[in-house]
Homo-oligomer: A and B are copies of this chain.
Amino acid sequence: MSEKVFYGKGVRKIKKEDLELYESIVDLDKSIWNSNVLDYKTQKLIAIAISATNSEASSLLKQISKSKKELNISRDEMMDVLKVVLLTSGMISYNKSLDIINKLYD
Residues of A within 8 A of B (CB): 6-8, 10-11, 13-14, 17-18, 20-21, 23-25, 27-32, 34-38, 42-43, 45-47, 49-51, 53-59, 74, 76-77, 79-81, 83-96, 98-99, 102
Contacts and interface: CB of A to CB of B under 8 A. Distances in A.
Contacts of A88: 6, 47, 50-51, 54, 90-92
Nearest to A97: B10
> Quick one: copies of this chain in the complex?
6
A95 B27 CA distance: 16
A77 B6 contact: no
20 contacts: A8-B95, A10-B99, A14-B79, A18-B31, A20-B30, A21-B32, A21-B83, A23-B27, A25-B86, A42-B42, A42-B45, A43-B84, A46-B81, A47-B87, A54-B89, A57-B59, A59-B95, A59-B96, A88-B91, A89-B92
